[in-house]
Amino acid sequence: MSTQHKPTTYTLNELGLSADKLDRHAVSITDRLVKAGFQAYLVGGCVRDLLLGMHPKDFDVSTNAEPEEIQALFKNCRLIGRRFRLAHIHFGRHVIEVATFRGPHIKHDKNDSHAHKDGRLLRDNVYGTLEEDAWRRDFTVNALYLDPKKKTVIDYVGGIEDHQNRVLRLMGDPTTRFKEDPVRLIRAVRFKAKLNFQIDAHTAEPMQRMAPLLKDIPAARLYDEILKLFLNTQASQVFEMLRQYDLFKALFPQTELCLQKAESDSPLLLIKQAMENTEARLKNQQHVTPYFLLATLLWEPVRRLSEQNRSSFSSDTQAIHAAANEVVAHQVSRIAIPKRMTTPMREVWALQPRFHKQVGVRCLRFLEHPRFRAAYDFMLLRSQYGEVDPAIADWWTHLQTLAPAEQKLMTRPSQFKHKKSRKKKPKPSASDR
């Protein structure tokens, strides 16, 4: 990686930053490391977000101290990771991540680096200098180092200029960097949406070609990345960009195939509406359940498969259960969605046929089902795009507004039965009397 020029150093005042915005635990860690003779800086997303006037969720520290040296300084430290060996320093539930400076992975020394034949880094614990660490990061705007003691920001890579121009730029050759870690493809999309930046044309050019590389990423790692992608206030934009670069196809191949085969835009619009609903809830500080959005993303393959195989089962519910088993099994091989998510997803899907039954005590019992509200919201979403008769959606909406006695009346069997009419005997005529 090129290191052709000396760093530019900016004061926090020049950049309009206040030291008061820094996390006190992260600052205390850098102080202790510096007092022990090491270099230590706040780095990455926290510096980038501070420059945007945002409140960083996490503060990360980068240092030339190696993991064991960090652990020796902090009793509340735990070493984690294999691909990247990191130190997590705990302050109650609050965790500060501390990483050792990394050097080029081709460097041969006592450290440990392994690359796959396709260029992907499998293990990357090659330690280096501050400058080498800067050039090893992904985007220039993520390679800025803040020194809390000197109140300065160090920039080796032109990150401040790109930040001011609102540009996402990979350092080095984009094809090589995406091969090293294909997750950078979805990080580019997420940062573009989150920061409202443009992806540099040179960086964007190979993204569509590189999309299939995501198939080689461990499924467990992709799950966390997926939550970051969709559980935010730019979910709709993220979804569109993932499809634009063929990344959605690599992540949710069954869904993408169904969207391409769909005879109308309804399945696509249903997903987009779910994304917009997620955005609205987050903007209103409302809770969002990941399983609901995941259930939406996988519903179309479940629905199509259950309809195709319906004749093999005695009920719609059984057909949905079987389809869900197949779709989920295929999906978790790509993205390791945990059982605590797939179980409620299956329940929401399997409860959909019950909305078509509006008579009897089972309706009232259904209202008490622990997953009723999620299933009801899912049914309302489906009704918007022609999958459920709006009259059914209105009926269930109205039912929930009634008192228990009124609910019983609304769900009892119809009293309008065709009864045999009784013929009245004609009154005797005068001649018969």
Residues with a known catalytic role:
58, 60, 138
Alpha helix positions (H), 262-334: 266-283, 290-308, 316-332
Q: Which CA distances in Å does 182 have to 45, 51, 70, 105, 210?
A: 19, 27, 29, 16, 8
Could you give phi then psi for residue 306, rounded to 5 degrees?
-65, -35
Tell the residue number behind the tokens 């499809």, with chain if given.
243
Q: How far is 397 from 342, CA to CA, in rounded Å?
A: 27
3-state helix, strand, coil in the chain (%, to 5): 55, 10, 35
Q: How far is 349 from 307, CA to CA, in rounded Å?
A: 13
**3-state SS, residue 84:** coil
Exposed (0-12), middle (13-18) or buried (19+): which is 345, by Cβ within 10 Å? buried
List all residues 6 or more positions away from 313 whose beta carbon is below 8 Å from its beta carbon.
319, 322
Q: How far is 135 from 128, CA to CA, in rounded Å?
A: 11
- The structure tokens listed for 335 are 């993205």
| Number of CB atoms found within 10 A of residue 405's CB | 8
